[in-house]
Amino acid sequence: MPHVAVRISTLEQRVSTLLRTAEVSHQTGIPVATLRWWRHRGEGPPSFKLGKKTVVYPADKLAVWIATHEATTTKGDQL
């Protein structure tokens, strides 16, 4: 049964890296309402639904989204 244990461990790691809307708001400073509006419009950080209502944001994809915005909007001297 080690194969099953590996799958569960991988799933647990994946779930632990999923952030709820309020967590993303807290970490980024983007209001929850803005995140919801962006999701409605197909904008903002990548997210998906678990079940009918629970919206989650994969932490790794959120980090890439933030880095992309940083790279494309940074102004001033780059040291």
Overall domain count for the chain: 1
- Can you give the CATH number for the domain in which 51 is found? 1.10.1660
15-58 pLDDT per residue, tens? 668 999 999 999 999 999 999 999 999 999 999 999 999 999 99
* Mean pLDDT for the stretch of residues 53-75: 92
Which of 57, 64, 49 is closest to 22 using CA atoms?
57
The verdict on residue 6 lying in a domain is: no
pLDDT at 13 over 70: no
- The type of residue at 1 is M
Average pLDDT over residues 52-72: 93
56's enclosing H/E stretch is strand 54-58
29 in the Ramachandran plot: left (φ > 0), alpha (ψ -120 to 50) or beta? left
Query: By the 8 A CB rule, do 17 and 59 touch?
Result: yes
Residue 54 lies in a domain: yes
Give a yes or no: residue 26 inside a domain. yes
**Which structural domain, as residue segments, surrounds residue 59?**
14-73
Mean pLDDT of 67-74: 90
- pTM score, whole prediction: 0.76
